[in-house]
Chain A
Amino acid sequence: MGGAGRILRRRLISAIPVLIIVLLFTFLLLENASGDAVDAYLVSIGGGDASLRDSLRTQYGLDHSALWRLWLYATSVLKLDLGWSVAFDRPVLSLIMERLPNTLLLMGSATLLSFILGTALGIVAGAKPGSLLDRALSSVSLALYAVPGFWLGLVLVLVFAVKLRWLPTSGLETIASGKQGFARALDIARHLVLPVASLGLIYLGLFLRVMRSAMGEIWRMEFVSFAQSKGLSRARVVLRHVARNAALPLLTVLGLQSAMMLGGSVVIESVFAIPGFGRLAQEAVAGRDTPLLMGIILVSAVFVILVNLIVDLLYALLDPRIGAGEETA
């Protein structure tokens, strides 16, 4: 489909200046850090004299001018080298790549949960606007969306892990359990139930509201009246005519939500001690690890761009008016 290629090209081309701006701003921001990674490192080893600090600085290239360092950084990023993490003493990229899958697992599961349940409930609520069920679901979704994610996590831990002891309190899997294959997967799944629930329930509220509101808008459109005038079954009108069109704004929200969820994963991973990308951000902050923090922000930006690209392509797939171009029959 030519439309897909066009969308891909357009997105990628506009992504480049955006990434450059992200790079620039992040660099400028972290330049202003009071104290840098070397200072933090020195504090952690109990102090060091000036010569040690200077030699470390030279070793990590922190003694050059800002512009030079920016140039060095920009060019190395193009070679997929995101620098060296001072706090962890290893390449930033490999560190991120090691942690990213855990977060993707967490986020992916939470997105799946919130999207599927939220959309389904949104359709149910939107099928009969103004009904008791609709209003009840609207209230529930609002309450869910208002809950602070980290607090929900703590409450869930309290109820399910501490009081009921059904699920583990933290971590990604039982440490040193030696489990393999399916047993290991099950173990990880058990550990993920509460974090996924904490992250997912909140966005469930969001998707429910968006779907419901989109359907409310579409009910007013004339093609729905036309479908009803043809005497079609209610199910068909709701699903094939109303919901099918409501899927489009829903998809847009899916793209936006991915950025929000990545941010949300920072606190959730902190609450549940999951060794993921979000937790890494917190650790980078604690360790004043500038290269790591920059790498994290860059990778986040790339991630969000990719997700939005996929959403754009899906949109083109679902909306025949986009990308296909005009053809006259």
Chain B
Amino acid sequence: MSLAPLLKIEGLSVTYHCAAQPSLRNVSLQLQEKQRLAIIGESGSGKSTLARCIAGLLPRGAKTEGQLIWNGHPDKSHQARFPTPGRDIAYIFQDPSASLNPVLTIGEQVAEAAIRHLRLTRKQARAHARDLLTEVQLPNPDALLSAYPHQISGGQRQRVAIAAAISAAPKILIADEATSALDTITQAAIARLLGRLVSANGMTLIFITHDIALASSLADEIAVFQSGRLIESGKAQDVLSNPASGDTKRLLSSHLDLTTPPQIRRAS
């Protein structure tokens, strides 16, 4: 087992096309395999930009500086193969209603990635999709396969999106504010689901959130962003109980109190 970090980010800066300011400035970060990293910060702090950059989902015309070194292999040829979206990285978006194609069935959208990356046949993919829907705890998976996104609720759509994203069994899961568009009860349920999936499948988790309580319960490590810069990172408990930076302190204090027991208990 290699001791090199899964991902080493060095001096990363990202400027979107036609943007006056960079969205990310000189970010350096390390991520180990099977780690759970929470990225917190206010809106516009660059959290999503970092996630998209890692996943290779930046829009055309975005300029990047710095390096992303995966598995200790800095050369380009390795980077061309790893990581491949879908096969190596699953990405969950914030708005489940927008993530799903309205005119295709749920079954087709969940099976797509598996057909592409795992080379399954139609029949195998259908069975695989049914299993995935069960894994994300959706009722009546057989009926769901031929149903359409508009026929199910928001929380259920997010479960479908998760199923679709992990369909090809990637090892890295990036959740970009995946619970923010949902009501509180569903938020807790989805966060629980993500925690369980990541443990059960030995995945690395990067999740972006502005919800400190969520971060505290799910994450091993926390990285705090502000105005495109990484202002603090470290073990979750350390960052939350003893923040080193004044900005982090201000960020934490402006949120709901942390003395409330975390809503989700992490499986130990």
A–B direct touch, CB within 8 Å, in complex? yes
Of A227, A231, A233, A326, the residue contacting B151 (CB under 8 A) is A326
Residues on the B chain within 8 Å of A223, using CB: 98-102
B117 at the interface (CB under 8 A from A): yes
Judge if B139 is at the interface, Cβ distance under 8 Å. yes
8 Å CB contacts to B: which residues of A225-242?
225-233, 236, 240-241
Residue ranges of B at the interface with A (Cβ–Cβ < 8 Å): 55, 57, 84-87, 89-91, 93, 95, 98-104, 112-113, 116-117, 139-140, 143-144, 147-148, 150-153, 156, 161, 164-165, 167-168
**Which single residue of chain A is at the shortest CB-CB distance from B142?**
A329
Question: Bound state CA distance, A71 and B95, in angstroms?
Answer: 59
Given A221-B98, A226-B91, A329-B144, A240–B165 Cβ distance below 8 Å? no
Interface size on A, residues (CB 8 A): 26
Check if B102 sits within 8 Å of A329, measured CB to CB.
no
- Distance of A248 Cα from B101 Cα, bound (Å): 13
Q: Give chain A residues whose Cβ lies under 8 Å from the Cβ of B144.
A: 329
- Identify the interface centre among B91, B101, B148, B151: most chain A CB within 10 Å of its CB: B101
From A229, which residue of chain B is reached at the shortest CB distance?
Answer: B91
**Besides A227-B101, A230-B165, A328-B151, 10 other CB < 8 A contacts?**
A221-B98, A223-B98, A228-B85, A230-B167, A232-B113, A232-B116, A245-B101, A320-B148, A321-B102, A328-B152
Is A179 interfacial (CB 8 A cutoff)?
no
Bound complex: CA A221 to CA B103 (Å): 13
* Contact across chains for A222 and B99 when beta carbons are under 8 A apart: yes
* Assembly CA distance A232 to B101 (angstroms): 14
Is A31 an interface position by the 8 A CB rule?
no
Q: Is the CB of B147 within 8 A of A329?
A: yes
A232 to B152, CA, bound (A): 24
Kindly state the separation between the CA atoms of A233 and B153 in the bound complex, as whole angstroms. Answer: 29
- Return the chain B residue nearest A222 by Cβ: B98
CB contacts (< 8 Å) of B113 on chain A: these are 230-232
A42 is an interface residue with CB less than 8 A from chain B: no
CB pair A227–B112 under 8 Å, yes or no, is: yes
> Could you name 5 residue pairs across A and B whose Cβ atoms are closer than 8 Å?
A226-B93, A229-B91, A230-B164, A319-B103, A327-B151
For the complex, what is the distance from the CA of A92 to the CA of B57, rounded to whole Å? 64
Q: Which residue of A226, A318, A320, A329 contacts B161 across the interface (Cβ within 8 Å)?
A: A226
B233 to chain A, nearest CB (A): 25
- Residues of chain A contacted by B165 (CB below 8 angstroms): 226, 229-230
Shortest Cβ-Cβ A-B pairs, 3 listed: A231-B86, A222-B98, A229-B91
Instruction: Say yes or no: A240 contacts B104, CB within 8 Å.
Output: yes
Interface assignment of A244: CB less than 8 Å from any CB of chain B: yes
List, in ascending order, chain B residues with CB within 8 A of A225's CB: 57, 93
